[in-house]
């Protein structure tokens, strides 16, 4: 029965029908002059082919505090809603008398045509899952609700308004559960005026590399906080060896025969050999009878051992055998010091280091004549004392790169490392001031006979790459980002390996203390101004320690190993088979 004294509510534009739940989400408002809003309402449906209303349901709306606007959710079968028609609402008193009906609200058309393209998911360098799509303009969607669900966890929901086309779910939102291979469920609900359309459901698995095996050491001694690991692969064998410093100042080592993933460790040098906080280590395998390993002592001297085919031992004391750089204050000890080596064919090597004044010191060794005199490859003030160093050779030309005190990427080159006198390197400018984090990762790789790629960590904790092309009289280069800001854990290293022609893999430690990898196609870097490379979660969150140690080592023609320091402070690795 109708009661004209009861106030009539209006149906707000915020009202919508949810296809997935087959529910009507009704929002009503009473006129401002109404002092007391009735507790209940009744909802009626007028089908397109009828003028007679059919009751949908009744109930008590929930009113927002100090307003006359209320909401109520009630079931409405999809079969009924799909026919279209109009809804009206009326207030209802305790005697079941109702007000006059409201102006009708037209049920939006429900059809099977999609409102967006099929959503796609990807894993980003930030360790997030991104869901993207494109809008189909004629369908009139204004937003999309995207929900990510991990089994056993509370779903995470975000609303994306048109014209934006990306929903991002962070590692933190996922409670650090974006583990390698983890499957997540994604639901996208397009939203148009008055309608939450049919959901699109899909699944996505966090990418991880295939043909990958974990490496763990039996009873591994811990790694000191400022240690930089080193490794070498003995030429002519399928064996590699890794060295690291311990919190007691000892040097430990482990040998890795081909496809042996749980090797034993051994003490290489006794306690107090280096600082208990760590030392940068370097190594080189000139040939099967000439391998060398070095470390920086607490006094800044550089010491080490040699293997001439009869096992590891201290260097000799004769001419050309004794280390001319084994003197206090030779190298900086900041952050454990910085040191690297460069192989000269199969007959020699050059050892480089940063001294306390920011010069790049070096010393050359030939198998035929031994060690030569120490000299500066680049002058004082060139390098930050906390920089990492990276070297490579292309033909007979040698290159070295470092981070300057003001955050530039700089370097130098020699055109012929076999010449009698080397002198200062020709300077190279790679990236301008404030481009690099002085204590971040730095590495390089040869792309081809005329091109070099340099990788580094930026002050925004991302990874940038610069390509250097050698011209007749100078270098030219261009720079691109490889990962987004805050994708890298500050103060950690970068590892790079060329997997095949014009491509490389880059490993880094993410801010969730996880290990990530991306594949980079050198031929497409110039046309990719924003990072969009495939990213793999190799080791999950809370698995890695914040150290500079991250290295990659070729073991055989089909095996590459990557080593890092795990959350417990022990050397751990991954072995990749191709």
Give the residue among 408, 442, 520 at the shortest CA–CA distance from 125: 520
Euclidean distance between CA atoms 342 and 393, whole angstroms: 7
Predicted pLDDT of residue 180: 98
3-state SS assignment for residue 463: strand
Is residue 74 within 8 Å of residue 27, measured between CB atoms? Answer: no
Is residue 473 within 8 Å of residue 552, measured between CB atoms? Answer: no
Residue that is last in its domain, among 185, 205, 225: 205
| HEC letters along 319-378 | CCCCCCCCCCCCCCCHHHCCEEEEEECCCEEEEEEECCCCCEEEEEEECCCEECCCEEEE
Verdict on whether the full-model pTM lies above 0.85: yes
The count of other CB atoms within 10 Å of the CB of residue 419 is 10
**pLDDT tens digits for 329-360?**
999 999 999 999 999 988 899 999 999 999 99
Euclidean distance between CA atoms 12 and 2, whole angstroms: 22
The count of other CB atoms within 10 Å of the CB of residue 56 is 20
Encoded tokens for 54: 């059919």
Euclidean distance between CA atoms 276 and 298, whole angstroms: 9
Number of helices followed by number of strands (H, E) in the chain: 1, 46
Q: Give domain status of residue 14, yes or no.
A: yes
Are residues 141 and 63 both part of a single domain?
no
CATH number at residue 91: 2.60.40.10
Predicted pLDDT of residue 310: 87
Q: Assess whether the previous peptide bond of 163 is cis (omega < 30° from 0).
A: yes
273-276: Cβ within 8 A, 24+ apart: 273/245, 273/249, 273/297, 273/303, 274/224, 274/245, 274/249, 274/298, 275/224, 275/226, 275/245, 275/249, 275/333, 275/336, 276/224, 276/246, 276/247, 276/248, 276/249
Are residues 96 and 144 both part of a single domain?
no
Q: Where are the alpha helices (DSSP H) in 29-89?
A: 78-81
Are residues 67 and 101 both part of a single domain?
yes
Q: Give domain status of residue 309, yes or no.
A: no
| HEC letters along 402-460 | EECCCCCEEEEEECCCCCCCCCCCEEEEEECCCCCCCCCCEEEEEEECCEEEEEEECCC
Is residue 402 within 8 Å of residue 411, measured between CB atoms? Answer: yes
Are residues 74 and 130 both part of a single domain?
no
Q: Give domain status of residue 318, yes or no.
A: no
Residues of the chain with pLDDT below 50 are none
Predicted pLDDT of residue 234: 66
Q: Give domain status of residue 28, yes or no.
A: yes
Q: Give domain status of residue 22, yes or no.
A: yes
Predicted pLDDT of residue 259: 61
Euclidean distance between CA atoms 488 and 461, whole angstroms: 5
CA 406 to mean position of chain CA atoms = 25
Q: Give domain status of residue 363, yes or no.
A: no
Residue that is last in its domain, among 188, 205, 222: 205
Predicted pLDDT of residue 262: 72
Is residue 73 within 8 Å of residue 61, measured between CB atoms? Answer: no
Are residues 24 and 69 both part of a single domain?
yes
Are residues 47 and 132 both part of a single domain?
no
Predicted pLDDT of residue 218: 78
Q: Give domain status of residue 415, yes or no.
A: no
Contacts for 40 with CB less than 8 Å, ≥ 6 apart: 58, 59, 60, 91, 92, 93
Tally of structural domains, the chain: 2
Q: Give domain status of residue 322, yes or no.
A: no
Are residues 20 and 99 both part of a single domain?
yes
Residue 166: give the domain boundaries: 120-205
Are residues 97 and 132 both part of a single domain?
no
Residue that is last in its domain, among 74, 106, 138: 106
Predicted pLDDT of residue 502: 87
Are residues 15 and 42 both part of a single domain?
yes
- Residue 294 forms beta bridges with which residues? 282, 304
Are residues 155 and 98 both part of a single domain?
no
Task: Find the largest Cα–Cα distance for the chain.
Answer: 115
Compute and round to an integer the Cα radius of gyration of the chain: 33
């Amino acid at each position: 029965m109708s009661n004209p004294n009861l106030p009539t509510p209006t149906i707000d534009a915020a009202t919508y029908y949810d296809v997935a739940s087959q529910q009507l989400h009704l929002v009503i408002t009473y006129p401002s002059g109404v002092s007391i809003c009735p507790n209940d309402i009744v909802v009626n449906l007028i089908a397109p082919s009828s003028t007679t209303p059919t009751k949908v349901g009744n109930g008590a709306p929930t009113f927002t505090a100090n307003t006359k606007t209320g909401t109520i959710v009630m079931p409405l079968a999809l079969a009924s809603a799909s026919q279209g028609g109009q809804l009206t609402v009326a207030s209802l008193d305790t005697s079941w008398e109702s007000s006059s009906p409201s102006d009708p609200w037209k049920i939006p058309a429900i059809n099977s045509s999609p409102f967006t393209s099929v959503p796609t998911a990807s894993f980003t360098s930030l360790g997030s899952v991104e869901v993207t799509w494109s809008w189909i303009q004629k369908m009139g969607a204004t937003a999309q609700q995207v929900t990510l669900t991990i089994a056993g966890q509370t779903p995470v929901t975000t609303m994306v308004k048109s014209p934006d086309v990306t929903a991002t779910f962070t590692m933190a939102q996922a409670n650090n559960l974006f583990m390698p291979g983890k499957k997540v469920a994604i639901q996208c609900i397009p939203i148009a005026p008055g309608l939450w359309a049919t959901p699109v459901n899909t699944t996505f698995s966090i990418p991880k590399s295939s043909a990958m095996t974990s490496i763990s050491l039996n009873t591994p001694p811990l790694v000191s906080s400022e240690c930089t690991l080193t490794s070498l692969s003995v030429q002519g064998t399928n064996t590699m060896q890794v060295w690291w410093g311990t919190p007691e100042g000892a040097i430990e080592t482990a040998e890795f025969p081909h496809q042996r993933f749980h090797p034993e460790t051994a003490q290489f040098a006794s306690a107090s050999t280096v600082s208990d906080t760590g030392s940068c280590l370097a190594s080189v395998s000139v040939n099967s009878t000439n391998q060398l390993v070095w470390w920086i002592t607490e006094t800044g001297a550089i010491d080490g051992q040699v293997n001439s085919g009869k096992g590891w031992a201290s260097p000799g004391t004769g001419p050309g055998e004794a280390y001319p750089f084994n003197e206090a204050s030779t190298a900086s000890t900041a952050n454990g010091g910085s040191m690297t080596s460069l192989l000269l064919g199969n007959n020699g090597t050059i050892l480089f280091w940063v001294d306390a004044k920011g010069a790049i010191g070096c010393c050359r060794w030939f198998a035929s004549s031994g060690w030569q005199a120490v000299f500066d490859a680049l002058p004082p003030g060139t390098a930050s004392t906390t920089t990492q160093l990276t070297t490579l050779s292309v033909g007979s030309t040698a290159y070295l790169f470092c981070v300057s005190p003001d955050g530039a990427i700089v370097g130098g080159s020699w055109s012929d490392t076999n010449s009698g006198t080397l002198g200062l390197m020709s300077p190279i400018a790679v990236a301008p001031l404030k481009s690099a984090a002085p204590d971040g990762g730095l590495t390089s790789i040869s792309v081809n006979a005329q091109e070099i790629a340099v990788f580094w960590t930026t002050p925004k904790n991302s990874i940038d790459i610069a390509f250097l092309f050698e011209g007749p009289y100078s270098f030219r280069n261009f720079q691109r980002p490889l990962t987004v800001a805050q994708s890298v854990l500050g103060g950690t290293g970068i590892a790079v390996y060329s997997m095949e022609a014009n491509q490389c893999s880059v490993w880094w430690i993410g801010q969730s203390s996880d290990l990530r990898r991306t594949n980079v196609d050198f031929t497409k870097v110039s046309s990719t101004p924003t990072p969009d490379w495939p990213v793999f979660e190799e080791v999950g969150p809370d698995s890695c320690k914040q150290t500079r140690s991250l290295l990659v080592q070729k073991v055989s023609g089909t095996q590459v190993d990557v080593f890092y320091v795990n959350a417990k402070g022990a050397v751990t690795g991954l072995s990749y088979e191709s």
